[in-house]
Amino acid sequence: MNLSNLFRIALRAISKNKMRAFLTMLGIIIGVASVIAMLAIGQGSKRSIESQISEMGSNMIMIMPYDAERAGGVRMGASNIQTLKNSDYEDIKNNAQYVKAVSPNVSSSGQFIYQNNNYPSSISGVTPSYLEIRQLKIKSGYMFTDIDIEENNKVCVIGKTIADNLFPGGEDPIGKIIRFNSIPFEIIGILESKGYNTMGMDQDAVVLAPYTAVQKRILAINYLQGIFCSAETEDLTPKAVESITVILAGNHRISNPDKYDFEIRSQEELSSMLTSTSDLMTILLACVAGISLVVGGIGIMNIMYVSVTERTKEIGLRMSVGARGGDILSQFLIEAILISITGGIIGVLLGFVASYGVKVFAGWPIFIESWSVVIAFFVCSAIGVFFGWYPAKKAARLDPIEAIRYE
């Protein structure tokens, strides 16, 4: 019996029991749709994280003070550790290899006030290079200069959130004087909006000022709370970190890495950690969704068993007129594969609809990878063969005489 005849017989058998065939497909449909939707959510989250990290500066390096020696077992806050000096910043700026931009960082939290409006936030003392490191852009006005840093000028650049809350009437903030607690700062620039990052932090609730002004006029300190750097390229980040480590270890006269009074973190480490976590969650979600495929496969096996039992006499008649065991095996196997593949096609369409539904109604990022569709198809086809094989084998092994006698 040729393959086309077997397909026609299989299609005829399925069409006689449309509702039963559809209910059999339902497990496959739900399983394939769930796998595609879960993978789309997982990949969407991963790409969103990568995009947010890229916006923050994918080649950014953060140097923070570290209390290698603990006082009474209590760790001091980074803002109180005085191990990073202005000279460290200057040496990194002048001598570090593979480093493109460097900016010190000191910050203080408080209340920003303009007339009757106020907003709680923090002011960050940096240099103009901070814009390049964090990939920030000036929307209007201008960035403060090295002269402002040398003269400790009380000028600042503000983000959109600060502008909206202190100037709710739409007044132009440029040239206005705002107070940070009781200290006046003149607004000379406004940053372009960046919105919220993956961690839910508002990237526009920022105020940047010359680090010397924050150091001397607000905090009254002579040390740094951190140093931000940017490697020449993302691939050169490890080499830049190594160069910075050598400089700081020499400045602080520390040869034992376990005794370093500073720690260096790169966005590459953060990206690796977050994406690996996202990948793990994607795999877990896909595995949970894959359970539906297994359940659907069991449903196919169950229905094929029922079909073999119902059509025992038909099988006997076919075998008595010359059909071989291989023909009977192929017939029932084709039925199982047709059911699973048809369910897979419907499942893929439903998976696309479900994925975009999640994007529209829940607002979650999604990204449908082509390989997720291929995997779903491969798995549902494999399920059709795997779970359809045993009932088909049973049908092929029936004794023709006993089958004809079957009531």
**pLDDT tens per residue across span 321-332:** 666 767 777 777
Q: In terms of domains, do 72 and 195 share one?
A: yes
Determine the Cα–Cα distance for residues 108 and 183; give it in Å rounded to an integer.
Answer: 12
Q: In terms of domains, do 197 and 170 share one?
A: yes
pLDDT of residue 74: 47
Kindly give the interhelix angle for 325-357 and 370-396, rounded to the nearest 10 degrees: 150
Q: In terms of domains, do 179 and 144 share one?
A: yes
Closest CA to 296 of 11, 3, 21: 21
143 inside domain: yes
Q: Name the amino acid, one letter, at 56.
A: M
pLDDT of residue 106: 94
Determine the Cα–Cα distance for residues 79 and 226; give it in Å rounded to an integer.
Answer: 8
What are phi and psi for residue 120, nearest 5 degrees?
-80, 130
In terms of C-beta density within 10 A (0-12 exposed, 13-18 middle, 19 or more buried), how is residue 202 classed?
A: middle
How many structural domains comprise the chain?
A: 2
Domain closes at, from 203, 227, 260:
260
DSSP H helices in 252-324: 267-310, 312-320
pLDDT per residue as tens digits for the range 272-313: 666 677 677 777 777 776 777 777 777 777 777 777 666 666
pLDDT of residue 83: 86
Distance set, CA 189 to CA 19, 86, 111, 208 (Å):
68, 26, 19, 10
pLDDT of residue 321: 66
Q: In terms of domains, do 148 and 170 share one?
A: yes
Q: In terms of domains, do 301 and 235 share one?
A: no
Q: In terms of domains, do 182 and 293 share one?
A: no
Helices (H) and strands (E) in the chain, counts: 13, 12
Q: Name the amino acid, one letter, at 279.
A: D
Contact 239, 98 (CB under 8 A): yes
Q: In terms of domains, do 20 and 147 share one?
A: no
268 inside domain: no
Q: In terms of domains, do 228 and 85 share one?
A: yes
Kindly give the interhelix angle for 267-310 and 237-251, rounded to the nearest 10 degrees: 140
39: domain range?
3-52+273-405
Q: In terms of domains, do 359 and 307 share one?
A: yes
Which segments in the chain show pLDDT lower than 50? Answer: 71-76
CB atoms within 10 A of CB 142: 12
* Helix (H) or strand (E) run with residue 62 in it: strand 60-65
Q: In terms of domains, do 284 and 249 share one?
A: no
Query: Which residues in 159-242 belong to E strands, given as ranges?
Result: 177-180, 183-191, 207-210, 223-224, 226-231
62 inside domain: no
Q: In terms of domains, do 208 and 339 share one?
A: no
Domain closes at, from 225, 260, 295:
260
31 inside domain: yes
Residue 157, helix vs strand vs coil: strand
Contact 290, 89 (CB under 8 A): no
Encode burial over 73-111: b for 16+ CB neighbours within 10 A, e otherwise.
eeeeeebebebbbeebbebbbeebebbbbbbbbbbbebe
Alpha-carbon dihedral sign for residues 324, 329, 335, 338: negative
Determine the Cα–Cα distance for residues 364 and 376; give it in Å rounded to an integer.
Answer: 22
Determine the Cα–Cα distance for residues 380 and 128; give it in Å rounded to an integer.
Answer: 57
Per the rule left: phi > 0, alpha: psi between -120 and 50, beta: everything else, 200 is left
Distance set, CA 307 to CA 2, 16, 22 (Å):
22, 11, 14
pLDDT of residue 93: 92
Domain closes at, from 260, 288, 319:
260
pLDDT of residue 161: 93
21 inside domain: yes
Q: In terms of domains, do 35 and 127 share one?
A: no
313 inside domain: yes
CB atoms within 10 A of CB 113: 16
266 inside domain: no
290 inside domain: yes
- Any idea how long the chain is? 407
